[in-house]
Amino acid sequence: MDGRFALGAALIASACHEVCSCPATDSGAEDVAAGDALELDAAEPDAPADTGLDDGPADPGVEPPPGGYEARGVWVTRWNFSSAGDITTIMDEVASGGFNQVYFQVRGTADAFYVSTLEPWSATLGALGVDPGWDPLDVAVTEAHARGLEIHAWINTFPVWSGTTPPPMTTPEHVYSAHPDWICADSGGTPMPLGSDYVFGSPGNPDFQDHIAAVAAEIVSSYSVDGLHLDYVRYPGPDYCHDATSESRFAAALASDPSLVWDDWQRDQVSAAVGKVYAAVKGARPDAVLSTAVWGIYRNTWGWTAVSQGYSDYFQDPRAWAAAGTVDAVVPMIYWDIKDPYGTRLDFRALLDDHVANMSGRSVYAGIHGDYDDFAEIAAEIAYGRESGARGYVVFAYVYLVSHAYLDDFASGPNALEAWPPP
């Protein structure tokens, strides 16, 4: 098992974190390393700030546990399991740490870690399109629920392929081969090349949006998941996507509204895709939660140097989704430590406060990195999240909690008092 975790850590590091592209690539890896840790007693949760949210129980006759309502989640990447036994071990260990949610990856590059009629079995399970003889999501749902854990099916939203060669022919056919017109193109009209990290499908193509919504509906209608979790809900970068469909649709929209700006139009396309997924999820399983991992920096209002912004660099606007009511919870990936003084470049506190204050009453869970050499930094970030009004946290990732042997630290520290996920 140690070898599997070492491989998982290496794959994650080489990809710069599976949960969206790590913002640290823009700011230097030193910003993800643990800084001066704060001493605190994390066993007693601080009273959260008043966010105007209803934290009452779903069943008024049921008394909540001592820790109240708090999301305590862990991201489990697709690289962390290769058998049913691996998943059993993962769920045992996550439960032992006092967590109550698992964000379990079931789609990486338009492929499936579950039985699908829309996309082929993932090559990570053996060979693309070949039934591995077991169903990871089915096992994960059973094992998570047996331990009282919520399970949220985590999908990469817009990436469709990676590697240096195109996918082989499969049944169902992979979207990269079946729909070349869905692929993002740069400002010169050249489709994204193979071998350059992920190849993205274009958020500006309504057919691709509909396909993602259909994938979401298939998952939540076929499996008793507690939610669907969207990752990579964005464009690949500021030079994309100028595919023919997006260009023609923008031209038509511009003819109707000459004041329309390309950047705004692209943000609207991502928002439209999120809205379609939300409708699909709620239509198939009304109680399922739709959550999204989002860029840690929404907009750089502090004047920091050399940072990427979700809003302007990746055309991602989670505040618009919250205002429209098309997302239930947002998880900003704030993979930096607490800085002193407050508001220093990439300060965890300033970034989390900014997200919490602008989410139109929707839940914010702090996205926290687990690869610190001192657990005190993680505990301090969780404690600050409780003060800020965040309704919980999600840690990236399971493999780091195991490699650092932090599960016992969670159980005896921040997670010492049992809590339930927010209703």
159: confidence class by pLDDT, cuts 50, 70, 90: very high
Q: What average pLDDT is seen over the chain?
A: 89
**Two tokens, residue 233:** 């809900």
Structure confidence by residue, pLDDT tens digits, 133-148: 999 999 999 999 999 9
| Confidence (pLDDT) at 8 | 40
Strand duo 198-200 + 159-162: pairing:
antiparallel
332 touches 351 (CB < 8 A): yes
379 touches 42 (CB < 8 A): yes
Residue corresponding to tokens 């993800």: 32
* C-alpha distances in Å from residue 355, one per residue of 332, 359, 382: 7, 6, 15
According to DSSP, the residues that pair with 332 across neighbouring strands are 294
* pLDDT for 13 beyond 80: no
Q: Which CATH number describes the domain made up of 2-412?
A: 3.20.20.80
Picking from 21-35, 171-185, 317-331, which range would have the lowest pLDDT averaged per residue?
Answer: 21-35
39: confidence class by pLDDT, cuts 50, 70, 90: very low
Strand duo 71-76 + 159-162: pairing:
unpaired
Structure confidence by residue, pLDDT tens digits, 320-355: 999 999 999 999 999 999 999 999 999 999 999 999
213-231 as b/e, with b when 16 or more CB fall inside 10 Å? bbbbbbbbebbebbbbbbb
pTM over 0.85: yes
* pLDDT for 107 beyond 60: yes
Picking from 7-16, 201-210, 230-239, 309-318, which range would have the lowest pLDDT averaged per residue?
Answer: 7-16
Q: How many CB atoms lie within 10 A of CB 169?
A: 12
| Confidence (pLDDT) at 87 | 98
62: confidence class by pLDDT, cuts 50, 70, 90: confident
- How far is 289 from 277, CA to CA, in rounded Å? 11
101 touches 73 (CB < 8 A): yes
Q: At what angle do helices 262-284 and 244-256 cross, to 10 degrees?
A: 110
Taking residues 65-72, what's their average pLDDT? 97
